[in-house]
Amino acid sequence: MKKLFSLSVVLLFIPLIMLADSAKTLFEIANDHFNKGEYEQSITLYDSLLRNNIESSSIYFNLGNAWYKMDEIPKAILYYEKAKKIDPNNKDINYNLELANTHIADRIDDVPEFFLKTWWENMVYMFNEKEWMYINISIFSFLMLFVIIYFVSNKPSTKRFSFTLSILFIVLSFTSGIIGYNSYKIKTTHNTSIIFTPTVNVKSAPDENSSTIFILHQGTKVSLLDESKDWQKVKLANGSEGWLLKTDFERI
């Protein structure tokens, strides 16, 4: 019976192992095409990995590099942004994203943010959601340790010390949990996009006959707000808002 169970477990994991090996091989072949300057072939292979729900910052980053080599700047920016959502502190990703953004026509200054909001965003981007999960588990483990010490110790000084640290780790666990959840939401929520249409007339209302309030060009990043049928309300980093067609952009 035990042998049958062991065999069943092995058979269960064989397809997963084969899939992982296949994905690794395909990724390496795509990289080989890229290194040879065969960018279209590498893009096809990277895309096939994504279509099979195999996602990583490396795939998005390399895909962005391939599109950049083909002078498709909006697509390069899109995939660099996708890579950044997974690995926000990667220096290579951030450098290439900044480099790609120097090629777009629009220069939009950020609105100065309240310092607490900036501090909070820096905390969220300090680690990705998996790293925050590990941090939270570690903090919670220390919390449980001090709770146990509090209940098993007979010394008043030890109980006071463990009680104080338990309160501290409760606060830290709660805070890291919230930050980790926000990091997860940033990764999974697609509320930003990259303009793909060469030139876009941004309207004052979701109507083709409404007035044009400003013009955007391909490669510009916008935040997504409300939507109305074929129209999407967007917001720029400088606070400007307007409406454009959903066909004008690709979600990050």
Kindly report, residue by residue over 137-195, the tens digit of the pLDDT: 999 999 999 999 999 999 999 999 999 999 999 999 999 999 999 888 887 888 999 99
The number of angstroms, rounded, from the C-alpha of 5 to the middle of its chain's C-alpha atoms is: 39
- In degrees and rounded to multiples of 5, residue 211 shows phi and psi of -75, 150
- In degrees and rounded to multiples of 5, residue 56 shows phi and psi of -160, 160
207, 168, 200, 234: which is closest to 74 by C-alpha? 200
- Give the chain's mean pLDDT: 89
Note the pLDDT of residue 112.
Answer: 74
| pLDDT average, residue stretch 18-45 | 86
What are the tokens at 202? 């941004």
Residue type (1 letter), 26: L
- Distance in angstroms (rounded) separating the CA atoms of residues 244 and 248: 7
Q: At 210, is the pLDDT very low, low, confident or very high (cuts 50, 70, 90)?
A: very high
Could you tell me if 223 and 108 are in contact, meaning their C-beta atoms sit under 8 angstroms apart?
Answer: no
- pTM: predicted TM-score of the whole model, two decimal places: 0.78
Note the pLDDT of residue 187.
Answer: 79
DSSP single-letter state for residue 62: H
> Which tens digit of pLDDT belongs to each residue from 82-112?
999 999 889 999 999 999 999 999 988 777 7
